[in-house]
Chain A
């Protein structure tokens, strides 16, 4: 039973951007190349956090450009991608046609498109179309089903966005790991390109989260949702770090250093994941418990402090790993 749950968890994530990328890979020649854990690690999604210091808004995880959330990650997995020039709705039929063509062209090539906010405000996958019925066939974390063309004009966030894979790159696995580590460290330091300065990402995200609990104006749903996303991500961070020694079992200096430093970082991220697990139990998604109750808030701050301190230590190790791998001999 435990095994089954674990198995299931490995194919699911609260980070819909990574889930959508993983879903797309299955239609490419690289379908057996990556596990979801690899995807979470190599795209950096396992190490993300983005928190609004006032209310812990549920918008946090996706307050980044599609380039940050999807395209860079796809590049680091060996794929080139292109984005539809997104547009607000309602839009004239010609615009909708552009979007529908965009999806159809990639579906005709055998690979779905990634879409934004198809049924709920998350990333999803567009894997089919029928011009006679005027429907797209889509799947997102909420459901799988038909989306009438006319409904593109009535999406929840009043915006149409899509992205598709255009080709494959030859990628050196060590370069990919280095690129991932560079991105992870940059993100942790709060230096990733973001769409809104009022949200705090990386290690500063934990401080923002603590600040929100001190302010007593936490959005219960947003808080629980962020806890699910970040907690789930860190579970993948742990799995990713655990997987590295097996992947890098050779005798080279680089492989030795990957093995030793990934295992040095591992316990810190285990602590982060553990703290966030307790946090999730206290503020269960979706209703979110009582985050503005002073006793609950005090406990939350304790757990977030543990998470922040361990992540700070863990990131320092990963930064060292990056530096070691960047040394030329």
Chain B
């Protein structure tokens, strides 16, 4: 259980890059390494460096300033969550841009707040850059979080450094909701594995389980979280349809037996 406590303890930024300005002197790859350990100041510095350019990319695609802001916001949440999957830390900028592009495409497809509805094929044709693979790549846990943010999000706040705050809030809300589908033990293992990047052996030591049981737990949890992610997503889908006054249920007479 102490693993979980430790994870929770990481909520304060003080014990991380605490002296003002230190982050500004580091290279992107060093910041990425720090961000991977959960260092939010390091991630904040990455955000400061690349936000403007990412916004430019999003604006070019959407031609809508407010929508572009939203997209970059959500892309940053995604980047933060997925930073451990970035193979080459030196390429953070390009990686972020791709997330932004994917996110922008998704927004456009669904019709952004401006109500501009486009079909995916229209956009794909317009931009001609997105392979199916790229589209699918933006598909991990974070995609679900996007949707939670999109559907349950609040009005953007205008504090001096809103990014980090918002990112944190949304991320925790989203993950919290998702991980509710796990029991206490599964959650402890899953959090240790996903956030702290502990190996199954380390987890088995920390939680007093066999390595085999850790493996089983991770794989079972992953499946449960994936299902839960879909469940949460379609809960939003149903709500959206209800808001629009569209039917949420229709069952035709059963067909002849095949």
Give A residues with C-beta under 8 Å from B. Answer: 11-12, 16, 19-20, 22-24, 26-27, 87, 90-98, 100, 104, 107-108, 110-112, 122-125, 127-134, 137, 139-141, 144, 149-150, 153
Contact = CB atoms under 8 A, between A and B. Distances in A.
Contacts of B143: 92-94
Interface in B213-258: 226-227, 229-231, 233-235, 237-238, 241, 247-258
B230 A131 contact: no
B258 A108 contact: no
Interface of B: 106, 120, 132, 136, 138-139, 143-144, 147, 226-227, 229-231, 233-235, 237-238, 241, 247-258
A96 B238 contact: no
Contacts, number: 104
10 contacts: A11-B257, A26-B255, A27-B252, A87-B132, A122-B258, A131-B241, A131-B248, A134-B231, A149-B234, A150-B230
Contacts of B106: 94
B182 to A, nearest CB: 15
A140 B256 CA distance: 10
A146 to B, nearest CB: 10
A108 B248 CA distance: 10
Q: What's the dominant secondary structure at chain A's contact region?
A: mixed
Nearest to A110: B252
A108 B247 contact: yes
Contacts of A24: 255
B230 A144 contact: no
A97 B229 CA distance: 13
A161 to B, nearest CB: 15
Nearest to A12: B257
Given A131-B248, A150-B226, 14 more contacts: A92-B138, A92-B139, A93-B143, A94-B143, A96-B230, A97-B233, A111-B252, A112-B252, A127-B254, A127-B255, A132-B238, A132-B249, A139-B257, A139-B258
Task: Tell me the interface secondary structure of chain B in the complex.
Answer: helix
A153 B228 CA distance: 12
Given A16-B258, A132-B238, A127 B229 contact: no
A90 B256 contact: no
Given A127-B252, A128-B251, A149-B234, A90 B226 contact: yes
A11 B258 CA distance: 8
B217 to A, nearest CB: 19
Nearest to B239: A131
Q: Which among A91, A128, A131 has the highest number of chain B CB atoms within 10 Å?
A: A131
Nearest to A23: B255
Contacts of A128: 249-252
A129 B250 contact: yes
Nearest to A36: B256
Contacts of B233: 93, 97
B256 A134 contact: no
A91 B136 contact: yes
Contact of A134 (B136, B226, B234, B250): B234
Contacts of B252: 27, 107, 110-112, 127-128
B240 to A, nearest CB: 9
Top 7 nearest A-B pairs (CB, nearest first) are A128-B251, A92-B139, A93-B233, A131-B248, A131-B238, A23-B255, A150-B230
Contact of B250 (A16, A90, A93, A107): A107
Contacts of B132: 87
B131 to A, nearest CB: 13
A153 B226 contact: yes
Given A92-B138, A94-B106, A131 B237 contact: yes
